[in-house]
Structure 1
Amino acid sequence: MAGIATERNLQWIFRTGLLGLCPCCGERRMFCCWLKLEEECETCGLNYRFAAPDDGPAFFSLCIVAFPLTFFVVWLQVAFDPPWWVHLVTSLPLMALGCVLPLRPIKGWLVASQYVNRAQEAGSEVLWNRLHNREGRSDFED
């Protein structure tokens, strides 16, 4: 049974995260603009302050796109020794678009993962609740 719940969680994370939907209800968008999260979901009221993807989207984008694309650029240079403008026309746009376009789906995926897995920094829940006068309540209950 645990495998089925995990598989459902993964499907939910990928569906809501990659489409930018609320990870709680799956109804409304979690983004108000390109990479900025809404304050809360208009449908279910989920407050997005729990979300802390930080530099994760940029890291994954660089690892998934920029690192392999660097090999292509080096291969292009070594194999054909093209003039500089070829890299300006091919390598630069591929690198820029390849790293920027996946940022939003990756950030949505990370936020959905944090919500579904109730992820937070170890030992920070008591301090967070004390700072926000929320004794005994989890940050995920809103």
Structure 2
Amino acid sequence: MSYGDSMMSPDDQDERPTGIAMRRAALGRCPACGQGRIFSSYLKVADHCPSCNEALHHQRADDGPAYLTILIVSHLGAPLLLASFVAWRPSAMTLLLAFGIGSIVLSLAMLPVIKGGFIGLQWARRMHGFDNRSKAGA
């Protein structure tokens, strides 16, 4: 008996592929069905999927998406900032405006995608109440 088999009860045996769930949620769709929207506004997660009625209020993305967004944007921006300074020698104000606006726009675009990925991961791994134990008795 493997570790995974010993940790799962018989009613939790249905597989939830992590990659598919994360991809669906990153696109703003329900990780379970891929149809309903998970966000009711920019970053507010809907309580339930409008298509399959999957409960989404269990998610606990908290600060994880923000930290990951900052990490990615800064790792993309720093080499570009250095390369553009070496290549063109723009003024400090030009660099400040261009990279300030660019990092804000990129962060705002990436944040819902990364938060969706976090929600998809939590759903696929049955974290924070995303399991079927409460539904099995019903």
Q: Shorter-chain TM-score: what band?
A: 0.7 to 0.9
- In the alignment, what sits opposite 1:91? 99
Q: Please report the RMSD computed on the Cα atoms of aligned residues, expressed in angstroms.
A: 3.0
Cα offset for 1:75? 4.4
Contact in 2 for aligned 1:50/1:139 (Cα 8 Å): no
Unaligned runs of 5+ in 1: 126-136
Query: 1:119 maps to which residue?
Result: 127
Q: List runs of 5+ in structure 2 lacking aligned partners.
A: 5-13
Residue pair 2:22, 2:31 contacting (<8 A) in 1 also: no
Q: How far apart are 1:89 and its partner, in Å?
A: 3.6
Give the structure, 1 or 2, with the largest relative contact order (CA under 8 Å, sep 6 or more).
2
Aligned to 2:109: 101
Q: Deviations over 1:30-74 (max 9, x none)?
A: 001111111111222222121001111111111112233123224
Percent identity between the two aligned chains? 27
Moved more, 70-79 or 19-28: 70-79
CA contact (8 A) 1:118 1:140 kept: no
Partner Cα distance (1:113, 1:140) in 2: 22
Mapped pair 1:71 → 2:91: no
**Residue number in structure 2 paired with 1:40:** 48
What SS does the aligned partner of 1:48 have? Answer: coil
Q: Which moved more, 1:11-20 or 1:28-37?
A: 11-20
- In the superposition, the TM-score normalised over structure 1's length comes to 0.71
